[in-house]
Structure 1
Amino acid sequence: MFSQYKKGLLAGSVAVAALTSAAPAMAADMVALLLPENVNPRWEQQDAAAFVATMQEIAPDVKVEVYNANNDTSVQQRQAEQALTQGAKVLVVIPIDGESSAIIADTAAEEGVPTIAYDRMINSPNTKFWVQADMFATGAAQAQHVVDNTKPGDTLVLLKGSPTDPNAAVIHAGQVSVLQPLFDAGERVMGYENWTPGWDPAIARRSMDQALTQLNNNVQGVVSSNDGNAGAAIAAMEEQGMAGTVPVSGLDCTVQAQQLMLLGKQTQCGWRPLHEMAAAAANVSVRLLNGDDYSDLATEVVQNGVGADVAFVPVDSYSAVGAEGVGYVIENDPSITRDMVCQGEAAATGFCS
């Protein structure tokens, strides 16, 4: 039976309440939110929307500028420079590349501007703060779900994330912690694995097509690192009449992923309360603007890739499986409603009818 990971230490409502006594930020203050891409709808529809909404609630006089780099690291760097030129006093950055994005935090620090790493770590000594779930546990959860729904000797495909995203490597390490002993013992077979630059579903689709061709459709499980990869794998298997017969993991629990789960084509997704992550980043942004302490929000310290200590806020994660998992996500994710999920083919499922 798959175990659920519930390790969060911060609820968005608690973080918001903690700010009620903070001095108001100046009207001229500006915070910049730098998104990595628009391939995954969560960045604009969930993370950015929740960040902006929280800022409006707790610091309505603070201007928020949102940028999207469309998976181009040089564009993201230019957007950061533009934000600084326009007077941003805090940068909240979801880096495309955890290494090259260090220049963003370093440049900001030269101007006395702190950088918050959101979701993905920035490997700079000037990274001030990080908010994220336990991605190692998330990867282990994905792999364990597929293992629990396959049998000894079955062949698996691993569709990994973007090689420049530091989270992708951590997710994969979590997957391997579960899978490698089984591969070594011959209890499962590694049939095919590939990275997915930019988390691009089109690349994941080509990888899955290659896997099915090379393995002559001998695939019994797909360990997919996110929902975009999962959807691509399902589309490839659909053409072979295999969709719905193979367990497929995911991450983010997008509306499409939940619909596929109700249809039995995607069987698992890792869910994180993105609204709480965004609220935490917004709360710390305001504390930084006001020069206030935020140690009550950042309850841990972690080291990034260059050995710098970074204040850290861990948030919840949950393994959503089947209709029960969909119900949990709808109940706990304010950005997703039952009506949004119960569209198209999913509307005819027992969950929606």
Structure 2
Amino acid sequence: MLNSIKKNLSKLATGTAMSMLAVGYAAPAMAEDLVVMLLPENVNARWESQDAFFFKKAMAGLAPDAVVEVFNANNDTAAQQRQAEQALTRGAKVLVVIPIDGEAAAVIADQAEEAGVPAIAYDRMMQSANTDFWVQADMFATGAAQAKHVVDRTEKGDTLVLLKGSPTDPNAGVIAAGQMSVLQPLFDSGERVMGYENWTPGWDPAIARRSMEQALTTLNNNVQGVVSSNDGNAGAAIAAMHEQKGLVGNVPVTGLDCTVQALQLILLGEQTQCVWRPFEEMATVTAKVTAALLKGEDATSLTQGTVTNAAEAEIPFVPVDYYEAVGTDGVAYVIEKDLSVSKEAVCDGVASDTDFCKS
């Protein structure tokens, strides 16, 4: 299939629908090597400010003649499918897809296969046998790290709240499975108590906050730890706990992505952990795969084995590492390694009076 990108594709169609959705610039009428990156939503700022930014930056160096366009579906699976269809009609040579819904996005991979176009699943898996590559960190391990962080900071009999991710995001289930690999034996033995758990459709912080408020009401504030699957959920949980006495700063709260807000909350002692993935590395290795595909080259040298997706297909896996940020050392590490995060941004506003920001 990968060699099929050499086939002649239909001439690019002009139109305004995709250019209106483009991130940062209008779409050109024609492109010799058009690469399209499809983002899932704008609830999490990382997609545009980090993943798309670093991907375009890497592509500019690796394939300077290629035209890279980025589109955001704003949590609308039908819109994401339309964007993919339009990209293929216009002659895209490679699709890089961050699916809103891994099952629904299988259609995108299947249509790309029909057009002879490679489809790379970035961060989230497309549950299709026609997915060509998957770029991701070990999300099971990140979930286990979140759970272990809370377990290490709580005691026998303590009650935990689990704020899980979006049920349509294939990563959310893997993260939750990683968490439960640590927590289930403790729940079974009574070492810890499952007080409340809920999914967060669309990773919407407003939904996560309502879940946390419900948990506090149901448990009468008897909460000693929050296993939160990402930073948006963590911030929402902390906001809900601020309305009660004696919880914020005493209840460990985990996260994922290490957003500026999360790093500020860590400096304030309100969020205690976040898992950081090197988005620049993820985007760069994706650009390397993409550039190889544009040249008709074999990109499997960049992979490390395969991963079986829900379609029971073996998908070549391109792995990246992760880092568990805890305390000021963790904040400093992320600032040093993540080019999209600066100390000035972290130390702006609520965190400005912390010792870290004054040093």
Q: Residue 205 of structure 1 aligns with which residue? A: 209
Percent identity over the alignment?
71
Deviation at 1:307, TM superposition (A): 1.4
Quick one: which of 285, 307, 311 aligns to 2:312? 307
Q: How many residues align?
A: 328
Large movers: runs of 4+ above 3 Å: none
Q: Residue 162 of structure 1 aligns with which residue? A: 166
SS in 2 for 1:127: coil
Deviation at 1:295, TM superposition (A): 2.1
Give the TM-score, by structure 2 length.
0.90
Deviation at 1:220, TM superposition (A): 0.6
Q: Residue 151 of structure 2 aligns with which residue? A: 147
Quick one: which of 177, 180, 183 aligns to 2:181? 177
Does structure 2 retain, via aligned residues, the 8 Å contact 1:261–1:326?
A: yes
Cα displacement string for residues 251-297 of structure 1 (whole angstroms, at most 9, x for unaligned residues): 00000000000000000000100110011111111111111111221
C-alpha distance in structure 1 between counterparts of 2:289 and 2:31, whole Å: 17
Residue 290 of structure 1 aligns with an amino acid whose one-letter code is: K
Quick one: which of 61, 65, 71 aligns to 1:61? 65
Cα displacement string for residues 144-199 of structure 1 (whole angstroms, at most 9, x for unaligned residues): 00011111111100000000111100000000011111111111110000000010
Q: Residue 249 of structure 2 aligns with which residue? A: 244
C-alpha distance in structure 2 between counterparts of 1:133 and 1:279, whole Å: 14
Deviation at 1:38, TM superposition (A): 0.2
Deviation at 1:94, TM superposition (A): 0.2
SS in 2 for 1:252: coil
Q: Residue 232 of structure 1 aligns with which residue? A: 236
Quick one: which of 290, 296, 310 aligns to 1:285? 290
C-alpha distance in structure 1 between counterparts of 2:318 and 2:53, whole Å: 20
Root mean square deviation of aligned Cα: 1.1
Q: Residue 195 of structure 1 aligns with which residue? A: 199
Quick one: which of 107, 113, 122 aligns to 2:111? 107
Quick one: which of 79, 82, 87 aligns to 1:83? 87
C-alpha distance in structure 2 between counterparts of 1:299 and 1:103, whole Å: 26
SS in 2 for 1:89: strand
C-alpha distance in structure 2 between counterparts of 1:243 and 1:264, whole Å: 8
Deviation at 1:299, TM superposition (A): 2.4
SS in 1 for 2:270: coil
Residue 245 of structure 1 aligns with an amino acid whose one-letter code is: N
Quick one: which of 262, 266, 278 aligns to 1:257? 262
C-alpha distance in structure 2 between counterparts of 1:38 and 1:300, whole Å: 32
Give the TM-score, by structure 1 length.
0.92
Structure 1 residue 40 and structure 2 residue 44: aligned?
A: yes
Q: Residue 218 of structure 1 aligns with which residue? A: 222
Structure 1 residue 329 and structure 2 residue 334: aligned?
A: yes
Q: Residue 294 of structure 1 aligns with which residue? A: 299
Q: Which structure 1 residue ranges, 5 or more long, are not aligned? A: 1-25
Quick one: which of 272, 278, 293 aligns to 1:267? 272
C-alpha distance in structure 2 between counterparts of 1:301 and 1:115, whole Å: 16
Q: Residue 11 of structure 1 aligns with which residue? A: none
Deviation at 1:334, TM superposition (A): 1.4
C-alpha distance in structure 1 between counterparts of 2:31 and 2:198, whole Å: 48
Q: Which has the higher contact order (CA 8 A, sep 6+)?
A: 1
Deviation at 1:27, TM superposition (A): 6.6
SS in 1 for 2:325: strand
Q: Which structure 2 residue ranges, 5 or more long, are not aligned? A: 1-29
C-alpha distance in structure 1 between counterparts of 2:62 and 2:345, whole Å: 28
Residue 299 of structure 2 aligns with an amino acid whose one-letter code is: Y
Structure 1 residue 72 and structure 2 residue 67: aligned?
A: no
Quick one: which of 339, 346, 353 aligns to 1:341? 346
Deviation at 1:208, TM superposition (A): 0.4
